[in-house]
Structure 1
Amino acid sequence: MNEPYVTLNIVNKVGYIEFFHPNRNSMPSDVLSQLEQTIIEAGTNDAVKVIVLKSGGDRTFCAGASFNELIAIEDEVKGKQFFLGFANVINAMRNCSKVIIGRVQGKAVGGGVGLAAATDYCLATQYASIKLSELSLGIGPFVIEPAVSRKIGVSNMAQMTLNAETFYSAEWAKNKELFAEVFNTTEELDLAVKTLAENLSSYNPEALKQMKTVFWQGTEHWSTLLSERAEISGKLVLSKFTKKTLKRFR
């Protein structure tokens, strides 16, 4: 697997959406756009009753934003446009009428934590440690903050943000309610994801749809909010501090 992709595979009424990038499943704009459109597609496909969001490979779930693309941003318009990619994916997940189960097999960094937080129910392995590294890069987790804070609370979000170079364990994430369950192996994770998804797919779809609306009550303003947050990040990524830091990390 050397080429990025986003796929939708429907098995037993479950839509498995898988994304992949050879650089630790980082997320450039084109992959984010494909992921957004695939979530929308699965959400309107009558053959799909439940969605599973997963990534390819057996290591990192998602390393967040593509550093190469961040470095190449030259103006505020392009900066906002890039960060809108994450905003659009989160809003697609939020607006999707189907329940979305997260399958996190490995580390999640930055935007990857945001993706996990935007699922309706998230399962992980013991290797799924999480980190919000944005502040150490000169930006901040502005776009994903609402989704993360909604799951783990503002104080825990602040702790992760300010300790920007610290990985927090999967058990920590479970205790803070980002993950519902943590498994020892990927095999155990996959069995649990399959069992849960197929059970849910047999339930009344209208009841699931209405419960999804309840889960996300109070987030109706997020389309505007996340766009405003993308603008903040789009400006910060142009700073000399951020440019210099990104080049060093790359």
Structure 2
Amino acid sequence: MENAVSLSINNQIGTLQINNTALSNALSRAMMTEIADTLEQLNRDDSVRVIVIQSQGQKTFCAGASLKELSTLSSDEEATHFFSGFAHILIRMQQMKKLIIGRIQGKVVGGGLGIVAGCDYVIAHQNAAVKLSELSIGIGPFVIAPAVIRKIGATAFEELSLAATQWRNANWSMQKGLYAEIAQDFDALDEKVQERANEFAAYPIEAVKTLRAWHWKNTANWQIELFENAAITGKLARQETTQSKLKSYFKK
């Protein structure tokens, strides 16, 4: 059976892949831990000069949090622990000494958008629409908010978070600064990702590390803020109305 999160290293490029197509690449708490741990492993590996984050399949990059797991949370503490998984991923991305390229081949929902926003350079397929759906089930994108706002600004984040049932297309995401390039087909997507990965891997590592730290210099408070936001989200996720919405979703 294929691992839900896999890692390959080739020619100084480390590729982290999410493999959960049966659930639209939604993330369980265990998968979040594995992603965070894999990022830490890549950060420590001197043979890796650049990182690519991608997912299996063609339709969905990441559907965010596993709604099935959310519907089984039995306490506020357990819910906070669940959403802290996104915090751990984003903090690992913040702490990286190497550039991260996002290969976004399909739609992005909820917490998946946080992973996209944590990448330094994002190349997306033309069908890679985005949506922050949290409000529609009774929670909010609080944990990923600092990362998304850092990338697209507060106004665009407000628009996205309030339009919880509406998609924004790849062109919108590029205009707002979330995507750097858009590919018209999957072959072009792979070519662009490989080209940028080779380019970034050739940069002097100390210069990359210094520049990346400068890019992320206003995020020191994330170590506290993201976990506080996880507690806020966890409490909302345990509300009766939210749990009813989640359970009804699986009865459809």
- TM-score, normalised on structure 2? 0.97
Counterpart amino acid of 2:5? V
For the pair 1:131 / 2:117, whether they are aligned, the reply is no
Q: Is the Cα contact below 8 Å between 1:8 and 1:42 reproduced in 2?
A: no
Partner of 1:59: 59
For the pair 1:12 / 2:11, whether they are aligned, the reply is yes
SS of match in other structure, 1:248: helix
For the pair 1:95 / 2:95, whether they are aligned, the reply is yes
Q: Is the Cα contact below 8 Å between 1:4 and 1:31 reproduced in 2?
A: no
Q: Is the Cα contact below 8 Å between 1:49 and 1:201 reproduced in 2?
A: yes
The 4+ residue runs of structure 1 with deviation greater than 4 A are none
Which whole-Å CA distance do the structure 2 matches of 1:57 and 1:116 have between them? Answer: 17
Partner of 1:43: 43
Counterpart amino acid of 2:93? M
Q: Is the Cα contact below 8 Å between 1:18 and 1:56 reproduced in 2?
A: yes
Partner of 2:207: 207
Which whole-Å CA distance do the structure 1 matches of 2:42 and 2:122 have between them? Answer: 18
Which whole-Å CA distance do the structure 2 matches of 1:203 and 1:102 have between them? Answer: 18
Partner of 1:234: 234
* Deviation for aligned residue 1:248: 2.1
Which whole-Å CA distance do the structure 2 matches of 1:238 and 1:4 have between them? Answer: 30
Please list every run of 5 or more consecutive structure 2 residues that lacks an aligned counterpart in the other structure. none
Please list every run of 5 or more consecutive structure 1 residues that lacks an aligned counterpart in the other structure. none
Q: Equivalences for 1:169-188 in 2 at 5 Å?
A: 169-188=169-188
Q: CA RMSD in A?
A: 0.9
Partner of 2:156: 156
Which whole-Å CA distance do the structure 2 matches of 1:71 and 1:133 have between them? Answer: 16
* Deviation for aligned residue 1:249: 2.3
Deviations for 1:178-224, whole angstroms, at most 9, x for unmatched residues?
Answer: 00011111110111011111111111001001111011011011010
Which whole-Å CA distance do the structure 1 matches of 2:237 and 2:18 have between them? Answer: 25
Give the count of matched residue pairs: 249
Q: Equivalences for 1:103-122 in 2 at 5 Å?
A: 103-122=103-122
Which whole-Å CA distance do the structure 2 matches of 1:77 and 1:3 have between them? Answer: 31
Identity of matched residues, %: 39
Counterpart amino acid of 1:212? R
Q: Equivalences for 1:18-33 in 2 at 5 Å?
A: 18-21=17-20, 22-33=22-33
